[in-house]
Amino acid sequence: MNRIQRISILLVLAVVSMASSCNKPEETPEFDKASLLVNFSDNLIAPSLSMLKMAVDQMEADFVEFQSNPTQANLDVLRNSWKEAYLTWQTVKPFDFGPIRDYGFKAATGTYPSDTAKIESNIAVGSYTLGSASNIDAIGLHSLDFLLHRADALSYFTGDANYMTYTSDVIAKLKSETDAVTSAWAAYAPTFKESTGTETTSGFSQLVNEFNRDYELVKVAKLGIPIGKQSLGIQMPEYLEARNSGIALDLLRQNVLALEQYYKGNSFSTGQSGVGFDDYLLHLERSALDGTIADNFSAILAKVDSFSGTMENEMNSNPQGLDELYTLMQGQVVSLKTDMTSAFGVLITYQDNDGD
């Protein structure tokens, strides 16, 4: 091969290489998960905890007023502030990791149904350790549903000093733990914001897992168990959340609405929009899945809004409607737990024992 031929071959190879380089598609930049975690920490979790703290503080103040002047009017005020705290709790409970898990805050605050026999036994004895595992279903917001809303509740408060004291102790424990967790989150937040990996211990993985787990708890515990989905169609109203006050549907709606807003990255307390799971899906070119999830949330909330009575009333008069709600909620599980988490490369680590 002479010199001219070699030069010609080199020129051809150079042109081919340049053409190949020009035609090579650019790699899609990685999604900024740090911005998602910052938004969740600063605009969603911290403000929701602050809202819960304010609601619990107000409930405690209203209880002190009721304790000094136990009238029906003051009891009604206390009931209203309790309801506000319980509704606000629905915006915090999806974040059961970090200090919320370390303090066992979710179980201590939101376990239901309450063991009313244990509550009454504690009151009768007048001696108890509310922080013990044996009392987990005799404390928290749900125990106050029984204490504040049982038939003739006012007469129990005015007729039994131990009853008033026990209620005071339950509220004091809730306030102390709310204050502690709110403060602890501020210290934990920097660690959470930097934990962007998909390993099971990362902040991002825990966020995705707890989001899904909380959604399934809404479907199963708030709805499925009471309407008989785990008992061969036999309704179990004794498992209704807040049965005495009749606000089970309000709590379910608030919980689903909070999850919808968090999916979008929107602050439940301020309405501020930010980076959410939907943005990550759009970055991954999964717009169809994002649309499906958004439509499912809208359909679920519309169905909840179609009910006019309490959940217990609807169980008696409109069981088919509640069954339709359950079916809608079950359909969303596939989109969130299977499709979304797979797209994110996150492994589901919690155990699902609902049987379907």
Cα angle value 119/79/303 (rounded, 5°): 100
pLDDT for res 28? 63
**Tokens describing residue 217:** 């708890």
What pLDDT does 16 receive? 44
Round to whole Å and give the CA distance between 52 and 57: 8
Q: What is the pLDDT of residue 351?
A: 80
Distances (CA, A) of 5 to 1, 8, 11, 226: 6, 5, 10, 85
d(CA 101, CA 214): 13
- Both 211 and 330 in one domain: the answer is yes
Please indicate, yes or no, whether residues 109 and 204 belong to a single structural domain of this protein: no
Over residues 273-286, the mean pLDDT reads: 97
- How far apart (Å, rounded) are the C-alpha atoms in residues 24 and 160? 80
Give the pLDDT score at 95.
97
Residue 135: DSSP 8-state: G
Q: Would the pLDDT of 76 be above 50?
A: yes
Residue 5 has pLDDT above 60, yes or no: no
**Confidence check: pLDDT of 7 > 60:** no
Residue 220: its pLDDT value, please?
A: 98
Which residue in 38, 31, 87, 58 sits closest to 282, CA to CA?
A: 31
Neighbours of 113 (CB within 10 A): 21
Are 246 and 344 members of one domain?
A: yes
DSSP string covering 251-278: HHHHHHHHHHHHHHT--TTT------HH
Q: Do residues 141 and 286 both lie within one domain? A: no
Q: Name the pLDDT band for 256 (thresholds 50, 70, 90).
A: very high
Domain span holding position 98: 53-185
Confidence check: pLDDT of 11 > 50: no
Based on the fold, state whether residues 158 and 237 are members of the same structural domain. Answer: no
Range of weakest confidence among 10-19, 162-171, 195-204, 246-255: 10-19
For the chain, give the mean pLDDT: 92
Q: How many domains does the chain have?
A: 2
- Assigned domain for 6 exists: no
Predicted pLDDT at 79: 98
128 & 229 share domain: no
Confidence of residue 15 (pLDDT cuts 50, 70, 90): very low
Mean pLDDT along residues 84-110: 97
Quick one: pLDDT band at residue 353, thresholds 50, 70, 90?
low
Q: What is the pLDDT at residue 26?
A: 55
* Total residues found in the chain within this entry: 356
Same domain, 256 and 343: yes
CA distance 282 to 291: 10
**Boundary-marking domain end, from 168, 185, 202:** 185
The first and second tokens of residue 129, run together, are: 């350790």
Q: How far apart are alpha carbons 309 and 328 in whole angstroms? A: 20
Residue 304 is assigned to a structural domain of this protein: yes
**Structural domain includes residue 10:** no
Residue 24 — very low, low, confident or very high, per pLDDT cuts 50/70/90?
very low
| Across 246-252, average pLDDT | 98
Q: What are the residues whose beta carbons fall under 8 Å from the beta carbon of 36, sequence distance 6 or more?
A: 204, 265, 275, 276, 277, 279, 280
Does residue 133 register a pLDDT over 60? yes
Confidence of residue 41 (pLDDT cuts 50, 70, 90): very high
Give the pLDDT of residue 283. Answer: 97
Residue 258 and residue 180: Cα distance in Å, rounded? 23
Q: Is the pLDDT of residue 22 over 70?
A: no
pLDDT of residue 2: 54
pLDDT at residue 169 tops 50:
yes
Q: Which residue has the tokens 């909070």?
A: 258
Pick the closest to residue 207 from 189, 219, 223, 221 (CA basis): 189
3 state DSSP class of 164: helix
Do 156 and 249 lie in one domain? The reply is no
Q: How would residue 107 be classed by pLDDT, with cut points 50, 70 and 90? A: very high
∠ CA 87-352-254, nearest 5°, is 15
Q: Which one-letter amino acid corresponds to residue 157?
A: F
Q: What is the CATH number of the domain that holds 132?
A: 1.20.1420.20
* Mean pLDDT, rounded, for 94-105: 96
Task: Classify each residue of 73-96 as buried b or exposed e, where b means 16 or more C-beta atoms within 10 Å of its C-beta.
Answer: ebbebbbebbbbbbbbbbbbbbbb
pLDDT category at 212 given cuts 50, 70, 90 is very high
Q: Are 127 and 257 members of one domain?
A: no
> Is 281's pLDDT higher than 60?
yes
Same domain? For 84 and 224 the reply is no
Q: What is the DSSP letter of 27?
A: P
Domain assignment present for 3: no
215 plus 352 within the same structural domain? yes
d(CA 146, CA 161): 17
The answer as to whether 60 is a domain residue is yes
Residue 356 banded pLDDT, cuts 50, 70, 90? very low
Assign 96 a pLDDT band (cuts: 50, 70, 90).
Answer: very high
What pLDDT is attached to residue 143?
A: 98
- pLDDT reading at 264 higher than 50: yes
pLDDT of residue 29: 81
Residue 46 resides in a domain: no
Q: What is the mean pLDDT of residues 324-336?
A: 98
